[in-house]
Amino acid sequence: MSWLHADGAAIGTALDLRADVVVVGSGPAGAATAYHLAGAGADVVVLEEGPLVAAEDLPEDAFTAMARLYRDMGASLTRGRSPLPFVQGRMVGGTSVVNGAIFWRLPRDVYDEWVREDPVLADALPWDHLATLHDRVEADLGIVPTDPAIAGRNNDLLAAGAEALGLDHRPIRRNVTGCRGLARCLQGCPVGAKQAMDRTYLPRAAAKGARVLANVRVDAIEAGARAEGVRATARGGGAVRVRAPVVVLAASAVHTPVLLLRSGIRHGPVGEGFQCHPGISMVGRFPEPVRMWHGATQGHEVTGLRKEGIKFEALAYDLPVLAARLPGVGATLRERLGDADRFASWAAAIRAKARGRVRPGRRGARVHFDLLPDDLQRFRRAARVMGEMMLAAGAEVVWPEIHGFAEEVSDRAVLARLETEGPLDARAWTAIVTHMFGTCRLGSDPATSVVRPDFRHHAVPGLYVADSSVFPTNTGVNPQTSILVLATRCAEHIAETL
């Protein structure tokens, strides 16, 4: 695309650049930082490990998308008693290109938790100013509730199930313009309706002079008495060096701490305090066609249990993924697939209390994480309520996907037992992690945090962290908006020093 400064696949010789600011990562945190700093007149370079992919080149099926657009084919794993896959995009625009386009403001109760634990944050992150930044982001990215005309039956059924159980629910607010309800968000929108970073903040930053390089992997931060830049390797084999007095890390709560540790920058609890939102899902069969591959990928949510640490969302995917999710083999699976158009799929995101750690490994990051008994109790409750919503919405049968529990359920009394008798062994559950936080915590105490309340590293002047690794805790809701807002706040602090 014309706004891309360079593609590392074509860089075969050494490249030496100079800038005011170098940003590592092009997802929401990196894109927002670059956009606002370029707008403030800074000379900005953004380095992204993955490729830039045009909308018309995005794969149609989920498995091809995972192979081309996701890190480790979407199968990166935590280490622990029960390994969990965690999902990250690896392309220009980061995970914003392949997520469900869900927008949630940082909940006030979560913000209040942060301030209670570290009161200095009230001055560094004033609530009223964060609200103003939320307004700005929503205006920039066209955030609107899902249009009922394109929601699709999968989302409508979730609304019906929540209504039947008396649970608060609403259309999901999404960053889309002209959505056609193709249910392709997780593969990347083929018509460019999703207002992801590769269609919004990055080209806008480039229009203000920022240089965005794709297919360039950052290997190390260069720092002496202060940050001096980064060393990187282009996919074409060339060594890339960017000299800059300000380095902003926006490589995610997994890869930012790894880059710090590999660069010998070990101050504070770097890599510690990893938190996430593990998610479980359920499939139900309905008597009438659902065709979950028609409509918004994730267009409706149930918020009634959010303060218990549980949030439900509709979730659509294509037939190959559905086949992998259904229980049974041979003739049984073949028979179930004959009803493919009658299945609905919903998910529950859990605000887990467990904390883990991230360390460099020989082939990337090693994430160590084990769920706590409280987290598994939330799994139990989420699975019960999700199944009850499906049955209340008219499902004939649901598949809980829990080892050691009934394979299929059509009786709410059986689901009720799940909350008290379901397994408390993490290995019995099928779960996946999508949102990650906390490994370079922001705070006033250098003994318990990695960056200051203004996002500056406690020990290395000129080094900043802008992604969700700075969050003091997980949020219990989709964090894309919070990441954009806090990264914008980080950019404001940096602009004051330039």
Residue positions annotated with a catalytic role: 435
**Alpha-carbon torsion, ordered 21, 26, 32, 36, to 10 deg:** 30
Q: How far apart are CA 198 and CA 31, in angstroms?
A: 8
C-alpha dist (Å) from residue 486 to 22, 142, 218, 350, 451: 18, 19, 23, 22, 13
How would you list the strands of the sheet with 216-223, edge to edge? 15-18, 239-243, 227-234, 216-223
Buried b (16+ CB within 10 A) or exposed e, 291-306: bbbbbbbbbbbbbbbb
HEC letters along the chain: CCCCCEEHHHCCCCEEEECCEEEECCCHHHHHHHHHHHHCCCCEEEECCCCCCCHHHCCCCHHHHHHHHEHHHHCEEEECCCCCEECCECCCCHHHHCCCCECCCCCHHHHHHHHHHCCCHHHHCCHHHHHHHHHHHHHHHCEEECCHHHHCHHHHHHHHHHHHHCCCEEECEEEECCCCCECCHHHCCCCCCECCCCCCHHHHHHHCCCEEEECEEEEEEEECCCEEEEEEEECCCCEEEEECCEEEECCHHHHHHHHHHHCCCCCCCCCEEEEEEEEEEEEEECCCCCCCCCECCCCEEECCCHHHCEEEEECCCCHHHHHHHCCCCHHHHHHHHCCHHHEEEEEEEECCCCCEEEEEECCEEEEECCCCHHHHHHHHHHHHHHHHHHHHCCCCEEECCECCCCCCECCHHHHHHHHHHCCCCHHHECCEEEEEECCCCECCCCCCCCECCCCEECCCCCEEECCHHHCCCCCCCCCHHHHHHHHHHHHHHHHHHC
Phi, psi of 439 (to 5 degrees): -90, -5
d(CA 272, CA 357): 4
Q: Are 479 and 435 in contact (CB under 8 A)?
A: yes
Cα dist from 360 to 30, 299, 323, whole Å = 21, 37, 35
